[in-house]
Amino acid sequence: MKKKNYEKSYERNNEEPVLTPEQIIRRNEISTALCQEILNAKQVYKSSQDFYNSKEWKTARAMTLARDGRMDVWEYLISGRITYPKRVDVHHIEELIEAPKLRSTLDNLVTVSHENHRLIDALYHKGNKKLIQDILKEYVRERNAVFFSHEEEVKEEEEEEATGEQLSLFDFGYDFGGIA
């Protein structure tokens, strides 16, 4: 009979219910867990903001912008249109929280418009994350191969110069008109 009084007492007086000790303990456990989750989220947010203000991020972002030419990669992949948005975001293919070791890796970064960045994040949370990540990673692999191929050629030329090989005009097939 007492339990019924507990349940009915708040209905009559429009007051908060009188909780049993078990209910109070459970509510406090939930509150404590929720507070801990909020504190953890704030810490992650703060460390993310520290990273986004770092020289490491600014360098990786600048290199990604240069590699992609400030183009909205997502728009290109879904519609075939090449667009250059006013506001360009650099998107982490594997999210910063999930893969902090990849935070500045060019293989994990791609340029997108601000609107498409929000769209990609929404699609990630709808369960299409792996598929979208695979599509973006493949594009970045191809883009890096083109972008950095020139860099490899320069390194090879520098290595040849370092070996001390001297090239002459004869090496290029120059004909001196029978003088030599």
DSSP codes of every residue in 6-21: HHHHHHHHT-PPPPPH
**Token pair for 69:** 């030419």
What six digits make up the tokens of 68?
Answer: 């992609």
pLDDT tens for residues 134-179?
999 999 999 888 888 766 666 666 666 655 555 554 555 555 455 5
The tens digit of pLDDT for each residue in 66-111 reads 999 999 999 999 999 999 999 999 999 999 888 889 999 999 999 9
